A and B are shown apart, each in its own frame.
Chain A
Amino acid sequence: MSDTAKKTPLVRLEDLNVKFVTRESTVNAVNDVNLTLEAGEVLCIIGESGSGKSVSMRALMRLLPERRTRISGTIEVDGKDVLSLKGAELSDLRGGLVSMIFQEPMTALDPVFSVGHQIAETVRRHEGCSYDKGMERALELLELVKVPSAERRLKAFPHELSGGLRQRAMIAMALSCRPKLLLADEPTTALDATVQIQVLILLRKIQAEMGMGVIFVTHDLGVAAEIADRVAVMYAGRIVETGTVQEVLGNPKHPYTQGMLSSTVHGNMRGKDIEAIPGSPPDLRAMPPGCSFAPRCKYAEPACTAALPPEVVFEDGRMARCIKLTPSAAPEKELVPA
Chain B
Amino acid sequence: MTAYILRRLLYAIPIALGVSIVCFALVYIAPGDPLQTILPEDASAETIEMVKKAYGFDKPIPVQYAIWLGKVLTGDFGLSIATGRAVTDDLFKALGNTMLLATGAVVVAFSLAFVMGLVAGYHAGGPIDRGVTGIAVIGVSIPNYWLGIVMVIIFAVELNVLPATGMGPRGSDTFNFWEWDHFRHLLMPLVTLSMIPIGIITRTTRAAVAEVLNQDFVETLRAKGLSEFEILLHVVKNAMPQVLAVMGLQFGYLMGGSILVETIFTWPGTGFLLNKAILTRDLPVLQGTILILAMIFVATNLVIDLLQTMVDPRLKRS
Contacts of B222 in A (CB 8 A): 63, 94
User: Are A122 and B312 neighbours in the complex by a CB distance under 8 Å?
Assistant: no
Is the beta-carbon distance between B230 and A112 smaller than 8 angstroms?
no
Alpha-carbon distance A94/B224, docked complex (angstroms):
6
Is there contact, CB below 8 Å, between A91 and B226?
yes
Cα distance A16–B233 when bound, in Å? Answer: 34
Total A residues in contact with B, Cβ cutoff 8 Å: 28
Q: Is B227 an interface residue (CB 8 A)?
A: yes
In the assembled complex, the CB of B152 is this many whole angstroms from the nearest CB of chain A, namely 45
Roughly how many angstroms separate A11 CA and B237 CA in the complex, as a whole number?
A: 36
Tell me, yes or no, whether A301 is within 8 Å of chain B by CB.
Answer: no
Residues of B contacting A104 in the complex (Cβ-Cβ under 8 angstroms): 216
In the complex, the answer to whether B230 meets A96 with C-beta atoms within 8 Å is: no
Contact of B238 among A92, A112, A125 (CB under 8 A): A112
Q: A111: CB under 8 A from chain B? A: yes
Within 8 A of A (CB), among B93-109: none
Q: Decide yes or no whether B33 CB sits under 8 A from chain A.
A: no
Check: B314 CB closer than 8 A to any chain A CB. yes
0/1 interface trace, chain B 212-237, chain A, CB 8 Å (1 if under): 00011101111111110010001001
- Is A113 touching B237 in the complex (CB atoms < 8 A)? yes
Contact, CB under 8 Å: B312 / A111: yes
- CA of A126 to CA of B227 in the docked complex: distance in angstroms? 11
Q: Is B60 an interface residue (CB 8 A)?
A: no
B225 touches A125 (CB 8 A): yes
Q: Does A247 contact B (CB under 8 A)?
A: no
Question: Is B311 located at the chain interface by the 8 A CB criterion?
Answer: yes
Q: How many residues of B contact A (CB 8 A)?
A: 20
Query: What are the residues of chain B within 8 A of A109 when measuring CB–CB?
Result: 217, 220
Which residues between 52 and 97 of chain A lie within 8 Å of chain B, taking CB atoms?
61, 63, 88, 91-96
Given known pairs A110-B234, A112-B238, A121-B230, the reply for A126 and B225 (CB within 8 Å) is: yes
Chain B residue with Cβ nearest A87: B227
Q: Which of A101-132 touch B at CB < 8 Å?
A: 102, 104, 107-113, 121-122, 125-126
Contact A110 B311 (CB under 8 A): no
A199 to chain B, nearest CB (A): 17
A108-B216 in contact (CB<8A): yes
Tell me if B223 and A111 are in contact (CB < 8 A).
no
Tell whether A37 is near chain B: CB-to-CB under 8 Å: no
How far apart sit A301 and B312, CA to CA, in the bound complex (Å)? 60
Question: Which B residues are CB-close (under 8 A) to A173?
Answer: 220, 224
> How many Å lie between the Cα of A93 and that of B227 in the bound state?
12
Interface: A133 (CB within 8 A): no
Is B171's beta carbon under 8 Å from chain A? no
Q: Which of B255-285 contact A (CB under 8 A)?
A: none
Cα distance A126–B230 in the bound complex, in angstroms: 13
A residues touching B (Cβ–Cβ < 8 Å)?
Answer: 61, 63, 88, 91-96, 99-100, 102, 104, 107-113, 121-122, 125-126, 157, 159, 170, 173
Question: Which residues of B are in contact with A by a Cβ distance under 8 Å?
Answer: 215-217, 219-227, 230, 234, 237-238, 311-314
30 A-B residue pairs with Cβ-Cβ distance under 8 Å, sorted by A, are: A61-B223, A63-B222, A91-B227, A94-B223, A94-B224, A99-B223, A99-B224, A100-B223, A102-B223, A107-B216, A107-B217, A108-B216, A108-B220, A110-B220, A110-B221, A111-B217, A111-B312, A111-B314, A112-B237, A112-B238, A112-B311, A112-B312, A112-B313, A122-B224, A125-B224, A125-B225, A125-B226, A125-B230, A159-B313, A159-B314
